[in-house]
Amino acid sequence: MDVEAMATPETIIVDFVAKGDDEDTWKMVLVEGTWDMPVEHHLRLLQERLFICVDAALEGQLARKFPETTGKRIIIQVDCYEAPRTEVEDFFTRFATGIFSIPKYRDELEASSHVQDIRFEINFEVLDNLDTIH
């Protein structure tokens, strides 16, 4: 499924929204593919996507598009392919552990009726031999 989350006048595309491992969890998945630009630039773009996803969940854009996510735990998952793992992991850890120390985001999460919680996951695994799947 695709979702367009309007957190600003710009539109961000979440690559897909999926049910999590239990009934109370949903995932917003961002796919970060080819890293053909300077790492710092790509990380700034990823940071922007992450902030917009958090805003979309907290402000209800996700719940309006997918009502079944209302009041659930949201995992924002980033799937990375061909990414510089150390730099991306370091950035992602800082973002995930720091965003809710920002008073605006901490307060919005506590007050939100749209989500129960927001967590973050990152994946660097690549599926090989996709051409053999029937």
CB 21 within 8 A of CB 13: no
Residue ranges per structural domain of the chain: 3-126
Give the pLDDT score at 131: 52
Q: Which residue in the block uniquely carries the two structure tokens 């120390």?
A: 101
Name the pTM for this structure: 0.84
- Per-residue pLDDT at 4 exceeds 70: no
How, if at all, do strands 115-123 and 72-80 pair?
parallel
- Per-residue pLDDT at 79 exceeds 60: yes
Average pLDDT over the chain reads: 87
Give the pLDDT score at 85: 92
